[in-house]
Structure formats: structure tokens, C-alpha cells
Structure 1
């Protein structure tokens, strides 16, 4: 069952918050107008906290981003990419990456894309659209939930 794009985004945020809560951490979903931060999470005593931005797709393993992601350098910000499935009996897939690692990867990838000719040999034109495809990134930069919560435990 295909669901509305806006609901996909909201569902992704709630799945991430639920996963953090299930693992024993505080997870507060921010208001919709909080630019760049969807969830604030911390350990129970609040001594270690992180900002999370959630990006969600349905039935795909690629996410469309904006150029501003290239400037991401915030120390304690992470991105969680969520894939929801049309089949509601399938659980979501998650990809977790530090924001600064993502920014660097997106910037380098886009510059390489611009350098290479298009399908018809033409020079590519720069746009503000970026794409995150995790199959092209150094897999050591990606985290599991266990790796991420180890950071929260610090």
C-alpha cells in the first residue's frame, strides 16, 4: 500500500523515536518547523545528547537531499535514513551516519558527478538537488543501532 509522502516522513520520525525509546533512550520529536533537526535524543540522565535528522522513503534505498547538506559539520548531529515498505508486515530498514561524514560524501560525490559527462556526452549542469545512495559510500561510515547507542552511552 502506497502512502502519502508527508505521512511517510512522519512515520519515519516516529519509527526512529520508537527504536531509540525501545533501547532505553530519551527521544523527543521536534516541531515541524525545526529546520534540520527532527529528533533530540539523550541518555536517561541527559548528560550526552545528539540531534537527529530523519529522511524517509518508501520502497527505495535512495534519498533526495538539498545542496545545504554539503555544509553539514555539526559535531553531534546524525542522519537516520529510513526505508518503509508498502507491505505493512515488513519492518523498516535504517541507515545511520554522522552528519559531517554525510556532508563530505555528498559534496565529493556531486563534484565527481559534475566532472563526468552525461548519458549523451554532454556537460552536466549544477543543481541544488543531491542524492544519497548508501551503496556508494564507505560502509565503515555507516552505523548500526548498536553502534549509535554506544555513542549515546559514551
Structure 2
């Protein structure tokens, strides 16, 4: 009996780029000048500038196609960056955004559950961001400091 073929796995680069473009669109919609930094070995994903506060933001985007862990190590978080975790969901379903200052991730990593501190496969679940109030927390881009 022949084995049925495995379902095709989504391309991680496509997922990542989709997340970056969704975040860029949201920032542009909110009036921030936004640039996508294309490339394989980039230090940041987006640059956003709020002309009303004269503030520039380095933005890191982490994207998932469906609910799972956002893989991220607390040891690699940069306090001065803003992290936007994107849950793309299925076509026809709304995209979910969790906007988290890097300083929050650095200053109290234990708040983001034990898995964020896991040495082998660190990550954060979307429900943790929901419980902590980071869903659609775009206000960080309006702050002057």
C-alpha cells in the first residue's frame, strides 16, 4: 500500500515576508513612514519614523501562519527595538498583531512564561501576549520617548 504524501509545509521565508508586509501596511496606515529592509542577514526588519514625535523605531517582526509558539530567545532580544508578533491566520480571517517593546521582553522575561526562558527551544505563545495586553498595542509608536 502506497503512503499518502505529506502535506506541503509552508515556506518560512514567505511567512516572514508576509508578516513584515502586513506590519508595514499597519504602520503606514497609522501615518508612520515605513521602510522594509530586504535581505537574508538583516539586523532589523522594518524602520518606522513618526514625524509628529520625531522618533524612529527599529522593528523586528516574527510571523506564524497559525497558532503555535513564536520562536525567540530572550538572549537575542534588543531592548531598544519594538517586536511585532504576527499571527497570519487562514485567508479570510483577520491577522492578529502583538506589539511588544523590546525593553519589556528584556526587563522581565519571566512574565512571558517559562518557555521564553527555555535554553533549547525558547518561544512565546500568542495567548501569553493576549493575557498581558499586547494585542494591537500600536500606541508605542505614538510615544515621544
Shorter chain as denominator, the TM-score bin is: 0.7 to 0.9
Change (3 A) 1:111 1:59: closer
State the partner residue of 1:120: none
SS of 1:100's equivalent? helix
Alpha-carbon distance, 1:136 to partner: 3.6
TM-score (norm 1): 0.71
Alpha-carbon distance, 1:111 to partner: 8.7
State the partner residue of 2:140: 148
Deviations 1:106-131 (CA, angstroms, capped at 9, x unpaired):
366449977xxxxxxxxxxx43x311
Which one of the candidate residues 18, 22, 25 is aligned to 1:15? Answer: 22
State the partner residue of 1:73: 79
Change (3 A) 1:22 1:113: closer
Matches within 5 A, 1:107-126: 109-110=113-114, 126=119
Uncovered stretches (5+) of structure 1, i.e. residues with no partner: 115-125
Runs of 4+ in 1 over 4 A off after TM superposition: 107-114
Alpha-carbon distance, 1:3 to partner: 3.6
Matches within 5 A, 1:14-33: 14-32=21-39, 33=41
Cα distance in 1 between the residues matched to 2:126 and 2:45: 21
State the partner residue of 1:53: 60
State the partner residue of 2:93: 90
Uncovered stretches (5+) of structure 2, i.e. residues with no partner: 1-7
